[in-house]
Amino acid sequence: MPTSTKQRQTFEKECNARLHNVARGSGWKKASNFLFCSDSGFFFQVTLSVYLNTNRTLARFTAKPMLIDPILWDILGIPENNSEPMSLRGNGAFSCNTPDFFEAEIEGPDSTAITIVDSFLNFAKTSKDQFLEMHANISFSHLISDHPNHRERGAYAMTLVASLINEANYQRALDIALGHSTGKLSSCEQFSSSGQSFHDLAVTWLSARKAQC
């Protein structure tokens, strides 16, 4: 098993090359070091993280409704992002941030690029199935609002507002956007457009929608 940084860099390249070759027939597409696909109204992303300073490789899974990024882009005034490749939802500068719902160590003492990628693809399939089963009984907005990173730091505030809009829970979305806009609620992440924060723009967007109803 490679141990030096240079060996680990070579190992990382081997893993990504192997992943690129097998992804085509797996139902997933590859971008950078992650796989993605759209299924059941969700964008699924599985990231392969090969550590360079130790013999460790992680697989991380996340998901989000396909419609929440277009909501974010509409509020921010960048609807042109809708015509960009789907992978933008995973690596775009302006996309809804989401937690890792599942994570797994997939490297052992005798692991090779082949065994790493095999384990990674198995993790991707199992995680997607587990997420869909979990979401059948829990709304996505609840998964976001109940996550420790959000409860402690407001890490997914914009994602939560967009998710509530997607679920047609407009009043709660407005209440949360107002809370962040006025400073009553805090968040460790914020987008802005034309000098206005996402939450300021969301308040305007939601208020205009409410006036039309």
**Residues 91 and 47: beta-carbon distance below 8 Å:** no
Final residue of a structural domain among 135, 155, 186: 135
Kindly state whether residues 154 and 127 are assigned to the same domain: no
Tell me the pLDDT tens digit for each residue of 68-125: 999 999 999 999 999 999 999 999 889 999 999 999 999 999 999 999 999 999 999 9
Helix H or strand E segment including 108:
none
pLDDT exceeds cutoff 90 at 172: yes
Stretch 45-52: mean pLDDT: 97
Q: Find the domain containing 63 and state its range.
A: 5-67+75-135
pLDDT exceeds cutoff 90 at 26: no
Kindly state whether residues 153 and 124 are assigned to the same domain: no
The pLDDT of residue 138 is 94
Final residue of a structural domain among 95, 114, 135: 135
**Structural domain count of the chain:** 2
The pLDDT of residue 149 is 94
Kindly state whether residues 99 and 190 are assigned to the same domain: no
pLDDT exceeds cutoff 90 at 25: no
Kindly state whether residues 106 and 193 are assigned to the same domain: no
pLDDT exceeds cutoff 80 at 33: yes
17 pLDDT band, cuts 50/70/90, is very high
Kindly state whether residues 35 and 121 are assigned to the same domain: yes
Kindly state whether residues 112 and 200 are assigned to the same domain: no
Helix H or strand E segment including 131:
helix 113-135
Kindly state whether residues 131 and 144 are assigned to the same domain: no
Backbone region of residue 57 per phi and psi (left: phi > 0; alpha: psi in -120 to 50; beta: other values): beta
pLDDT exceeds cutoff 90 at 1: no
Stretch 27-32: mean pLDDT: 94
pLDDT exceeds cutoff 80 at 213: no
Over pLDDT 90: what percentage of the chain? 90
Kindly state whether residues 155 and 79 are assigned to the same domain: no
Final residue of a structural domain among 110, 135, 160: 135
Tell me the pLDDT tens digit for each residue of 176-193: 999 999 999 999 989 999
Instruction: Give the chain's mean pLDDT.
Output: 94
Kindly state whether residues 9 and 25 are assigned to the same domain: yes
The pLDDT of residue 24 is 81
The pLDDT of residue 21 is 92
The alpha carbon torsion through 13, 17, 20, 22 (nearest 10 deg) reads: -130
Kindly state whether residues 23 and 109 are assigned to the same domain: yes
How do beta strands 192-193 and 29-31 pair?
A: unpaired
The pLDDT of residue 115 is 97
pTM: 0.94
Kindly state whether residues 206 and 147 are assigned to the same domain: yes
Q: How many CB atoms are closer than 10 A to CB 151? A: 11
Kindly state whether residues 180 and 126 are assigned to the same domain: no
Dist CA 96 CA 163 (whole Å): 9
